[in-house]
Amino acid sequence: MKLGDGPMTSNASGAKGRPLAIEAHGLVKRFDGFTAVDGVDISVPEGAIYGILGPNGAGKTTTLRMLLGIIDPDQGVRRILGTDRPHEVAHTIGYLPEERGLYPAMKTYEAIAFLGALRGLPLAEGRRRGKQLLEEHGLGYAIERQIRQLSKGMAQQVQLLGTLVHNPRLVVFDEPFSGLDALNQGKLEVMIRALAAKGTTVIFSTHVIAHAERLCDEVAIIAGGKVPFAGPVDVARDRIRPQVRLETRAQDGPWRAALPADARHEGAFWFFSLPETGIEPLLRALIEGEAGILSLSIERAGLHDAFVAIAGEAAAKALQEDKEDIRR
């Protein structure tokens, strides 16, 4: 499928019938013979918090840049905010790239105003909003400071505010949590939820599963330039059956025949996948067989386990190594 080929309707809808803020089919991008993105399909409903989850080098940044029109795909089609020409709606999009950068001599509010001006916001209004945003986010004391006088974390916050100063309909963050301490990561999570609450669509890339699991309505799991899964987080987690932990007073009896084939005994507990028939038939067998149930819990799989099942052990290991590199 060549760029621009194939049907792309403007009234497409996603989860719960919401219109799509982003729709992409079959995106392919090659660099010097290397295929960085290989047939990516993504659909992001309006007002959603959507995560692109994968290790460094998986194709996350290249995918975001194609969606935004910074680079064009070699194959495939994409539609963003109702148009297949991303530059036409650039003024309604906020973009925070992975490579942060501000002019060091600028004052903080001027830097925010400048970023707004790049999206069509008048400078005077940008300065006013910049000061207001700095005050609202606890940085009022730094309004007159130059960027060079800020810590790395503070400079990142200023650039983040500059991404939002023009009140975009769609916000795209590339690894937004990278370089932020735990406190500021928490503040960013609150900000992302607040954006979605007022109807703004948020899409962000990350290699930290915990952020995606806490924040996202839907995710695209990307590994090796491909997307083996894209959809609701709950659907990803349901790829793995819930796990049951059972403790019984009796060690043996006719009830053991009712345990699933994958049941394993460790210490005082039995561990096994929730049977497809549900827990009720097993409970009846345990009660009738006088197993003496001391405790029973059912735990749903987390997004990490789902990622391993969907993307494979190698991708999960790379994800963990990326996380450890950040900590160092």
In whole angstroms, what is the distance from residue 230 CA to residue 51 CA? 10
Cβ within 8 Å of residue 133, ≥6 positions away:
112, 161, 164, 165
Mean pLDDT of the region 87-115: 93
Cβ within 8 Å of residue 233, ≥6 positions away:
212, 213, 216, 217, 218, 219, 303
- List the structure tokens of 327: 């900590």
CB burial class (10 A; 0-12, 13-18, 19+) of residue 49?
Answer: buried
Indicate the angle between helix axes 152-164 and 182-197, nearest 10 degrees: 10
Question: Which of 120, 125, 76, 118 lies closest to 101, judged by CA?
Answer: 118
Beta bridge partners of 270: 246, 265
In whole angstroms, what is the distance from residue 270 CA to residue 53 CA? 33
Q: What is the pLDDT of residues 109-156, one digit of tens each?
A: 999 999 999 999 999 999 999 999 999 999 999 999 999 999 888 898
Domain architecture of the chain: domains with CATH: 15-231 (3.40.50.300), 243-299 (no CATH)
**Tokens 């503070």 correspond to what residue?**
154
Q: Between the CA of residue 152 and those of 40, 122, 159, what are the distances in Å?
A: 34, 27, 11
pTM of the model as a whole: 0.82
In whole angstroms, what is the distance from residue 79 CA to residue 77 CA? 7
Mean pLDDT of the region 265-289: 92
Handedness of CA 78, 84, 86, 91 (dihedral sign): negative
Beta bridge partners of 107: 146
Question: Which of 177, 194, 67 lies closest to 136, judged by CA?
Answer: 194
Is 15 within 8 Å of 216 (Cβ atoms)?
no
Mean pLDDT of the region 302-307: 88
Chain CA centroid to CA 64, Å: 12
Phi first, then psi, for residue 17 (nearest 5°) are: 75, 10
pLDDT band at residue 2 using 50, 70 and 90 as cut-offs:
very low
pLDDT of 267 strictly over 70: yes
Q: What is the pLDDT of residues 33-58, one digit of tens each?
A: 899 999 999 999 999 999 999 988 88
Mean pLDDT of the region 303-326: 76
